Amino acid sequence: LKASEGGGGKGIRKCANDEELRTGWEQVTNEVVGSPIFMMQLCTGARHLEVQLVGDEYGSVVALIGRDCSTQRRFQKIFEEGPPTIATKEDFREAEKAAQRLAMSVGYRGAGTVEYLYKPDSRGFYFLELNPRLQVEHPVTEGITGVNVPALQLQIGMGIPLQRVPDIRRFYGLDPDEASQIDFLNDAYVYPSTHVIAARVTAENPDDAFRPTSGRIERIRFQSTPNVWGYFSIGANGGIHEFADSQFGHIFASGPTREHARKALQIALKNISVVGEIRNPTEYLVELAETEEFKNNSIDTAWLDKLIAEKTIKMKCNANDMIFYAACLRAHLQVKEQQRKILDGIKKGHMPLQSNLKILQSFQVELAHESTKYNFQVSRTAQDAFALTIGETTLEARFREQPDGSLYVRCGDAVAQISGVEEPLCLRLRVEGQATITFPRIRDPSELRSDFNGKLVRYLHADGADIKEGEPFAELEAMKMIMSLRAGVSGKVHHTLGAGAIVAAGDLLATLDLADPSKVQTVKPFSGAFQLSKKGGRNAEAKKEVLDSLPSPTKDGMLSAVLCGFCASPELSKLGGVGIVQHIFKSHEDGAAEDQGMEVALDATCKLLGVFLENERFVASLVGGDETQTIQRFQGPPEELLSKILAHTALKESLHIVSSLLRSLSSNFALEGAISALPMDLVAKLTELRALPDAGGYGQVKLLAQQLLTQMNKPLGMRREDLRDTLLKSTRKDLLALANSHDAERRMYFGLDLISSLFSDEDQSVRSKAVEVYILRTYRGYTVQDVETVDAKDVVDKTPAAQLHLTWTFAPPGVQQKTQKGYAIVLPDMSAYESLVESWKIPAAPEITEIHILVAKVPSTSRKNSDESRVALCSAVSRTADMISSAAPMLDAKGCVVVNVMLAHAGHVPSYLHFHKASGWKEIPEYRNMRSTLPSLIELPQIQTEFTVSPLEHGRIFAMDFGVSKDKKTEVVFARAASHIAMGLDTLASSILSDLLTSCDFIERAMLDPVLENRHPAAKIFLHTLPPIPDTSPRDFRYLQVLFGSAVQQLMAESGSRVLKLRIAKIEVKVWVATSPPTALRLMAESSMGWEAVAFQETLDTLTGSPISFKNVETQEVCRSIEMLRQPVEEQRSSKRATARRAGSTYIYDFPALFRISLTKMWRAVGDEVPAKLVAAKELVLEGGELVEREQMGNNRVGMVVWQCTLVTPEYPEGRDIILIGNDVTTKAGSFGVEESEVFFKASELARKKGIPRIYIACNSGARIGGVEELKAMTQVEWNDKNDLLKGFKYLYISDDDFKKLPAQAVESHPETVNGQTRHVLDAIMGVGLPSTKGGVGVECLQGSGLIAGETSRAYDETFTLSYATGRSVGIGAYLNRLGQRNIQMVNGPMILTGADMLNKVLGQQVYTTLDQLGGPHIMVPNGVTHELVQNDQDGVEAILRWLSYVPENVLTIPPLISSKDPVARKVQFTPTKTPYDPRHMLGGVKVDGEWQGGFCDEGSFHEYLAGWGKSVVVGRGRLGGLPVGIVSVETRSVERHIPADPQETKSSDIIEVQAGQVWYPDSAYKTATAIRDFNRGEQLPLIIFANWRGFSGGTRDMFGEVLKYGSMIVDALVEYKQPVTIYIPPNGELRGGAWVVLDPKINIEQIEMFADVEARGGILEPPAAAEVLFKKDKHTVEMMHRCDDKLKELDARQAKGEDVAKDVKAREKLLLPVYQQVATQYCDLHDRAPRMKSVGVIREGLKWEESREYLHWRIRRRTQENSIARQLMRAVPNMSYATAMAAVTDLCKDVAAAAAAGGEDKAVALWIEEHPKEVQSRVETERHRATEEEIYKLVSSLPSSKRAEVVRDLVGYSRVAAQASA
């Protein structure tokens, strides 16, 4: 079938049978609508040859040879070539003539083509058609004839005869300049010497039967050569739509022969690159031109269709190579797309989810090829590298992306350039120079989808019809052609679209109900080894260039990649990070120079540490509260931030690598002199590592860096020769002084480590002196006598291995009655062990208790191999242990109990080993490397009776150990040290404080040890100062206790937060009083006792010197040693403290101690003596429904703890009461059960009744949730089908026997009998009467939550409420905080409604990674829930006390007035300017150019609250001359409001709203109202509002944001304010319009007074705007000009005379208008000044700013006192109005006021009221009595007259009886 108006393959179909004829008819009629259609017989085995004709108007027709277009698919040409060679020249000439005759017979003019079918076997030509147009392949003709056909057409159109056209004459071999006739039918042309082959470039998919494709084209790359050229109809960033023709390019190749042209075409096609969404067949055409049929020219028109159908043409490429490259491409595309999504989220303010970040590190890539599924596990091993694992094979690929988007991929030595795109149905891969191949997505066979873009023409089967495999089911129109789509399997079809629908590739067209699912071909996964070919895809030169640009990774490069968050490479995975580090430090193997190897290792270490710091520096800066502000705090581009976030996800691995680097650095270079020579840049990086925060996981590397830096300054080995010279010059009597010298006294270092290096000295004198100094220094603090060198012949001769023998006597500190004998033997080296065992004569002393074996020289191992060093040390220890074991009988015989072995290593610190008889003469590993006497001095053996100890760090005089109690319940870090520096009474406190701070340093470092990771042990400090304190006696015990207490209190005051952070629970200091013998005094303080100091006199064991009992210096109570260590209450609290720490808080029972510490700090700050008793806390327990006083000492079973505390504060030195309520997070996770709610309710109610502050410490997990535990084991299930549990169940039940065991109301059920057994089917579970439900498990807990929610709301109204959120506060806990209104929040104390894990489950993914995202400080501070943010619980308690300092002791009193160091008469020095300024400087003062400029408040007294919310308003509390005041001020500068993006809504974005200064916005208006309510309720603060507002923001956004509502709340808050309110418009401030309305004194005339500074302004509009109105838009301004300006007056006069001066008048007016507008503005401004405001009565007074402090202090002070009296009167006389009460107060003070000097009335009245409380109280009583009399009179008068006398008589009688009773 062929439509006559078709062409280019359109409108033509081959039909083999009736069915195809019907289908073909529909397709042809749709493709060429309205065209006549021919039906003709198909000619097979034919060639398509055509003759190019051109005719002129004179009847001539020339044949420009012709073309062979036999290579076709779907009757559309692919290759065209000329001249045709399949036909002989003679045969083709006849075809040309026939074509000429045809054209001449019809008078054809112009270009045209006569097409033939040619049968090579019969040499016959058969006419097809004449195309009356120029065809796209005309350049083939031009290439072989030299005739420019388009130009020839123009010439013909111009009327030029063919024979005169130069190109035609040249074609015939004639002179182009002549005009001879040409017989085009009979004259022969010159046969061409060139062959041309053309290829069409189309948007078709050769892998899918050349189906059309459409889409965007990014770029086309093609370069012409001398024998190849081409053109394209689409440029860069163009595209081909589904209704366009598929051809968009044409390539023409020429050569002397057909073969030359064919090869040139192949090369050209290989070098074409088309990047975009479409497919093109260029690679296919290369292979097509390589077929033998094409080479031999033995094709026909059906040849290509046959090849396509049979899929004969295949790309010549290795399948595994293509699969590998496809996996690389897909992995790269996935990473790019994931990065794009993450970066888009970051730009919107979304932190990337962990699940999304993991895709950037490791993921799967799936490919399908020829029924096999290839699952690659991809790991990104660097920014430009992947490791792909499949089956048994792992392949490493490095890549480099080119500007055009293609990738160079290197695997081994193979390199390929690849590109491609993910399409809806497949991945299309192009390997440059090889092939384009598609990898289809694995599809559901029941889904029939479109393979290309187009329009659905029709379905070929009815909906629900059966179709067979391979049968067409629908037709789509694409590229003006109708294409059939076939079903892949058999089944019943169901339509999903309607005819005419526009579809894209991959769209679902229909679904199938599979006829036989079992017959669907399955895709099998690949297994086994995956082999690549050896060849690469590039030429040798290009390959070398790419290989050079993609080098193999170095060892440090692999580690650097891991530090950046990438996966470990295969080599790194095999060796491990530590293995690679060791390889780096194996620097001089294989003959490398040692120095060079060391330099390489140091360079690599420096580089890697730099990478780690660069990645973590920013994240580490956020630790401590800003963790959720990663995006907001980062200043660089999102790409850089993503790299840091990705690196941080691998922090654990990074820390492992960095720790290994630091350990290797230490073990390889921390030797004699070596570490001091570290490069400066490496030292700088170590210093930065040391400065990393403790939290966040950095502790371990921080510790290692600190240790390394400490090692750098270690003097070991640095002054050995100087020490040797000193010993040579010293006599024996000098040795004791040298041994006892300490660091502060000496210029020479005499430490044991250095002294031991001289034991192998060649000089016997040096050796002997060195050993004696060693012994004397070891026993410092002991009494040492009779140090003698043993030279007895029997000892020397019978111990041939020894170089020296030494003996001495000694007694432990404090012991004089009994002495012990010590003995030291020096061995040259360890080889002497064997000889010593065989022959060892110990000196003939009766009993030697301690022996020291000093091995002078133990060979040191290579510093390049730490493993070797460890092995060598283990061997030495083992040999030593064997020797001691062999000598044990002899040691026992001599009465020896301790053997200390010192192994001196050349260049290293010595090793110290301890062997005790009590341990079976085995080494005590806990003491290893501790100096011999140190364990005893720091009482480590006593600790070991109760704890299993593990060393953390041991030094010369200190030991850090981790202890776990024998019952595993308690964990403690022990910091224990001995000091040999003498202290006097005058230096004792400062020395102890210094040592305590040093101990804190050690503890802080120890807490970073990996051993303590995820542990929260307490810490205990023990300091032992050995030199007796001079001039002391037992009379000084109490004084020493006081000095110690002073040091501890100073530590708490200065470092309380640090003590809390380090979890220090106990401090012990052991000192010696200078008696004879010295007396040991143990000074102790514990956190649980509020750090109060106690002192114990020790009784010592007369032999060992160990304490055996302790006598309390104050109480004289005696206890045993073991009781000092084991304190039952403290042990129990210790485990609870650990639980509280894990919750991020402090144990609730430790909070009173925190209050004590903070109060100490407050008292020290004011410079007064600290009172002895600062906190008295009475614990209240619920018993019988009421709170009773009872100390529980941590044995509480209810998770709510209450104290009534009396706090001795600087404001209330006599003490003030508060109710302290706190969750005990260690009891049922601090959840709110029924009992907890009841305790909370009663405590809060008590605070309300007493009118005292209620403080709530919030650390909880919300309302308690649970179940009836007893029923779990009883409950059984009735299944629908026991054999198939997935079918579900019918009900839950319990057996009859179990039912009978339960209380009556435990469950609600109904009985069912099954198989003769009674079941009780559960309808409801109540649990009444069962133990597990005690305290609540469900809704009863919620009811309790409702109870305390209501109570808290009432408490806020009636007393002062303040909440402190620490650890976490969940659900009702968060609501209680908000209902109490005032909140202090710890940075790690989120307030949330629902946990992150629960929300993530609801959302189905990990959206939230931390609770801070839901209720952390960066949520609760900006939204106004949190008033103040603190770093830790100690700071939190300080904030509580600071807030309380502004609050009166109860709701009936006024705020505390304290003496101020800042004189009230001081001038206010900081003056607000007309330009924007910081209002905090106005309130609190500021230092300018080094000089302090005082603000309005007392210096240091102003404290801002709610700083992060509503930033255009500043609120806080301060003091004015010692008087507490609440302050509201205005921000004059522009501020920003940040609204964070919602992590669960990916489309949300961060919003930054800019808010102008001096304007109320919804948030700042609400903040103002909130602050006013807070000041009024419970705080009773006088209020000062510094009013400098221009109005409210009235834009659409803010009106929608309810600015009107929140502005009205300001009025509401002021209306109900019960304290004096002062509105003050500051200098250069202004109050306008609506802002004035909400602050006007008439709102609350009883309490509000308004003042204005003499430089302030107030009015409706600002002067420029007012002038516009007042001067009628310059009308009156012009009138003023004419009235005031002489020139205009003159012009007006002239104009009145009739002169034409209008032009001059206008010019003058225009000139003067700006000046007179200023005059008008000034005129309006004069209306807004203080004098007018005062004259109309809207302000009380105009003030001068610098004098405002004193004036307002006395004014507010007077009003506060008067207001207080008025309130007392109103309470005394309930019906008295405020006005009446104030009238009585005025009357009370009238005489004082009248007598006051001018301007001093306020001061006089205030002072009189304060100094005459009795007169005030008398007046109150008088008014109360008068009111009572009036009330009695009214009541009696209201009685009937008959009753009045009787009642009066009874009252008189009652009065007489009462009077007698009182007498």
Pairing state of beta strands 1254-1258 and 1361-1365? parallel
- Quick one: CA dihedral 1323, 1325, 1326, 1327, positive or negative? positive
DSSP-derived 3-state class of residue 13: coil
Neighbours of 1528 (CB within 10 A): 23
DSSP-derived 3-state class of residue 1272: helix
For residue 1690, give every residue at least 6 positions away whose Cβ sits within 8 Å of its Cβ, in sequence order, or none: none
User: Which structure tokens are listed for 545?
Assistant: 């260039």
User: Which structure tokens are listed for 1635?
Assistant: 């802002």
Q: What's the rounded Cα separation, in Å, for the pair 373 and 366?
A: 7
- How far is it between the farthest Cα atoms of the chain? 165
Helix 138-145 and helix 149-157, axial crossing angle in degrees, nearest 10: 90
User: Which structure tokens are listed for 3?
Assistant: 């439509």
For residue 184, give every residue at least 6 positions away whose Cβ sits within 8 Å of its Cβ, in sequence order, or none: 60, 61, 62, 63, 100, 162
Q: Tell me, what DSSP letter sits at residue 1048?
A: H
Residue 1256: which of 1333, 1110, 1364, 1415 has the closest Cα?
Answer: 1364
Q: What's the rounded Cα separation, in Å, for the pair 1708 and 1702?
A: 10
Catalytic site residue 1573?
no
Order of strands across the sheet that contains 37-38: 10-12, 2-7, 37-38
CB 1052 within 8 A of CB 1091: yes
Report CA Rg, the chain. 50
Helix (H) or strand (E) holding 1799: none
Tokens 């270690």, residue located: 714
Q: What's the rounded Cα separation, in Å, for the pair 996 and 1047?
A: 9
How would DSSP label each residue in 1462-1529?
A: S-TTPPP-----SS---HHHHHH-EEETTEEE--SSPTTT-EEESTTSSTTEEEEEEEETTEEEEEEE
Q: What's the rounded Cα separation, in Å, for the pair 1833 and 1847?
A: 11
DSSP-derived 3-state class of residue 67: strand
Measured in residues, the chain has a length of 1863
User: Which structure tokens are listed for 1442?
Assistant: 């600071």
Q: What's the rounded Cα separation, in Å, for the pair 1368 and 1385?
A: 10
Percentages helix, strand, coil for the chain, rounded to the nearest 5?
A: 40, 25, 35
- Quick one: CA dihedral 753, 759, 761, 766, positive or negative? positive
Which of 22, 101, 123, 133 is labelled catalytic? 133
* Residue 670 CA to its chain's centroid (Å): 36
Q: Tell me, what DSSP letter sits at residue 1319?
A: E
Helix (H) or strand (E) holding 157: helix 149-157
- Measure the N-to-C terminal CA separation of the chain; round to a whole number of Å: 137
User: Which structure tokens are listed for 15?
Assistant: 């039909």
DSSP-derived 3-state class of residue 513: strand
Q: What's the rounded Cα separation, in Å, for the pair 901 and 924?
A: 12
Residue 783: which of 820, 746, 836 has the closest Cα?
Answer: 820
User: Which structure tokens are listed for 1349?
Assistant: 């929610």
Helix (H) or strand (E) holding 462: none
CB 378 within 8 A of CB 386: yes
Residue 427: which of 407, 409, 416, 441 has the closest Cα?
Answer: 441
Active site residues: 133
